[in-house]
Amino acid sequence: MKQNKIFFVLALVFVLLLGGAYLLYQRLAPGFSGNTLAIAGTASSSGSASTQGGAGSQSGQTQQDSGTSAGSADGSTSEEPELTPVPDFTVYDLEGNEVHLSDFVGKPIVLNFWASWCSPCKSEMPDFNQAYLDYGDEVNFLMVNMTDGNRETVDSASAFIEEQGYVFPVFYDTELSAALTYGAYALPTTYFIDAEGYAVAWAQSALSAENLQKGLDMILPQ
């Protein structure tokens, strides 16, 4: 009986996580076209996600929506897009302490999912590190490692960060619940979240320095 109860609770948690991921996907996916920075709440005009071995390829141009809520190159829109409140999650710091996304709401957030085996992830990291050095006082950077315990461990991920000399904050998704909640089924995946906790833009590809800056411009105070 006890085992059945535990199984039921775990199944319920899994269903709730899937539901959250589905709702977030439904709200943001229409704006996503491969190799772009997609503006939340806009419709895709063309293109599809490009992946290589499960990891996104190099980023191209910022997406322009051909519908009524067209995104401009500077991140503005002709009509206000419908923004999506982001769900919370729990990850862990290097010491094993719980960290929640909600802890950082109040400042803009750059949320990036990565792994040390992911070549496109590694290609964009120098730009993320520089962005953290430039904007770390104004923006919370959450570099979330996909720590599956097999292909990636806390030790291998932290060793990579130390070797490269990166100083941005790194957190470990050891239960993969954050990745499931945010639909990070390909790496890298990045979300730009405003200070009130709404998803403004996202990308499922390696961002160029230019597109990273565009995403930052969308969430920085004007």
Domain range summary for the chain, segments of one domain joined by +: 2-219
The count of other CB atoms within 10 Å of the CB of residue 103 is 11
pLDDT of residue 222: 83
CATH topology of domain 2-219: Glutaredoxin (3.40.30)
Residue 11 confidence (pLDDT): 45
Among candidate residues 40, 93, 82, the one with its CA nearest the CA of residue 63 = 40
Say what the pLDDT of residue 40 is: 63
**Segment 144-167 mean pLDDT:** 97
pLDDT at residue 21 is higher than 50: no
Instruction: Tell me the CA distances in angstroms from 136 to 91, 108, 131, 210, 221, one per residue in order.
Output: 20, 10, 7, 18, 14
In angstroms, the Cα distances linking 178 to 21, 87, 105, 186, 193 are 9, 9, 16, 13, 15
When pLDDT is averaged across residues 129-150 and rounded to a whole number, the result is 97
pLDDT confidence of residue 23: 43
Phi, psi dihedrals of residue 144, rounded to the nearest 5°: -95, 115
pLDDT band at 38 (very low <50, low <70, confident <90, very high): confident
| pLDDT above 90 (res 26) | no
pLDDT in tens, 171-210: 999 999 999 999 998 999 999 999 999 999 999 989 999 9
Residue 42, pLDDT above cutoff 90:
no
Would the pLDDT of 105 be above 90?
A: yes
Q: What average pLDDT does this structure show over 126-135?
A: 98
- Predicted pLDDT of residue 128: 98
7 vs 152: which has the higher pLDDT: 152
pTM over 0.75: no
**How does residue 36 score in pLDDT terms, banded at 50, 70 and 90?**
low
Tell whether the model's pLDDT for residue 55 goes beyond 80. Answer: no
Report, as an integer, the average pLDDT of 51-61. 32
Q: Which residue has the higher pLDDT, 4 or 140?
A: 140
Residue 52: pLDDT above 80? no
**What element of type H or E holds 171?**
strand 170-172
Residue 85: pLDDT over 80: yes
**Per-residue pLDDT at 56:** 33
- Quote the mean pLDDT of the chain: 76
What is the pLDDT, as a whole number, of residue 162?
98
For 8, residues 6+ apart whose C-beta sits below 8 A from its C-beta are none
Please enumerate in sequence order all residues whose Cβ is within 8 A of that of 111, keeping only pairs 6 or more positions apart, or say none.
101, 142, 144, 182, 190, 191, 192, 193
